[in-house]
A = this chain, B = another copy of it.
Amino acid sequence: VSDEVVAVEAGEERPDQTVALEIAYDGGGFAGFARQPGLTTVQGSIESALETVLRRPVQITGAGRTDAGVHALGQVVSFDAPVDLPEAPKLLRSLNALTPEGITVRSARSARAGFSARFDAISREYRYRIVTGIAPPVFSARFAWHVERDLDIDSMRRAGELLLGEHDFRSFCVTESAQGKRTVRRLDVVEVTPESVLGEDLVTVRVLGNAFLHSMVRAIVGTLVEVGSGKRQPEWVGEALEACDRSAAGPTAPAHGLTLWRVEYPQDVWL
């Protein structure tokens, strides 16, 4: 309550609602999601566009702090907004005119006051694309990891099943970022599917869970590729998980194959 009084006394508008924007971006053009001084980041670009539209400083919260090179189709960011915010179509046009190439604001929704794109999320879905074979990809080169070996999809699927459920995923997390933190997460889906994208044959790994540790999806994919290329047996992935040691699992797959696909919220957050 006292914060609110101070804000009003200082002449600021009290936030009447929270707005959630759904954002897509080509991670190749940005130094990651999180704002960093002197670097072009997704957060910095969105905040700067919002500041131009709202004529005041704005701070956004993202559902996932994607690393440099990682893409997003359905990243969600939230910010406090006055009631006189422009209607969604007008707001989208203004923001898309102000954000740099490679970022698109796809939609805007009103949420209840205090909504956080990060803390209210109930699940996150990521997709990781892999191109196999001798011929390097042309159209999906920016969005897929090129692995020259052929991959055995069935053994990748069997390995992926061993990761389902609630586990300590310390073996699949950047070591420094795991220290002193809770590293238990729940994985609901690990799907490995061949698909054709822009005419090129890919293998897509789809992963859905409540939340993810730093580089967790890329560590899972790097580990599944060890199995798919025949270097390891599927059972090894279960042992790697139990070891709770990053060095027990496979390498981290490169950032540019990964896309934050979708973030889910409880229905009752929307106004």
Tell yes or no: A263 within 8 A of B by CB. no
Tell yes or no: A103 within 8 A of B by CB. yes
**Which residues of chain A in 93-125 are interfacial with respect to chain B, using CB atoms and an 8 Å cutoff?**
93, 96, 101-107
A96 and B135 within 8 A (CB): yes
Tell yes or no: A270 within 8 A of B by CB. no
Q: Which residue of B lies closest to A137 (CB)?
A: B104
Complex CA gap A103/B135 in Å reads 10
A104 neighbours in B (Cβ, 8 Å): 135-138
A197 neighbours in B (Cβ, 8 Å): 197-198
Nearest CB on B from A200, distance (A): 8
Tell yes or no: A259 within 8 A of B by CB. yes
Nearest CB on B from A136, distance (A): 5
* Cβ 8 A contact of A89, one of B96, B134, B137: B134
* Secondary structure of the A contact surface, majority rule: mixed
Nearest CB on B from A45, distance (A): 13
Q: Which residue of B lies closest to A93 (CB)?
A: B134
Nearest CB on B from A135, distance (A): 5
**Which residues of chain A in 111-156 are interfacial with respect to chain B, using CB atoms and an 8 Å cutoff?**
134-141, 143
How many copies of the shown chain assemble into the complex?
2
**Which residues of chain A in 132-186 are interfacial with respect to chain B, using CB atoms and an 8 Å cutoff?**
134-141, 143
Tell yes or no: A92 within 8 A of B by CB. yes
Nearest CB on B from A148, distance (A): 9
Complex CA gap A26/B198 in Å reads 11
A11 neighbours in B (Cβ, 8 Å): none
* Cβ 8 A contact of A199, one of B73, B135, B137: B73
Tell yes or no: A212 within 8 A of B by CB. no
Q: Which residue of B lies closest to A23 (CB)?
A: B138
B138 and A259 within 8 A (CB): no
Nearest CB on B from A152, distance (A): 20
A134 and B96 within 8 A (CB): yes
Tell yes or no: A236 within 8 A of B by CB. no
B139 and A143 within 8 A (CB): yes
7 residue pairs from A and B, CB less than 8 Å apart: A26-B138, A26-B141, A73-B139, A92-B135, A104-B138, A106-B135, A197-B198
Please list the 3 inter-chain residue pairs (A to B) with the smallest Cβ-Cβ separation, ordered nearest first.
Answer: A73-B199, A24-B138, A106-B135
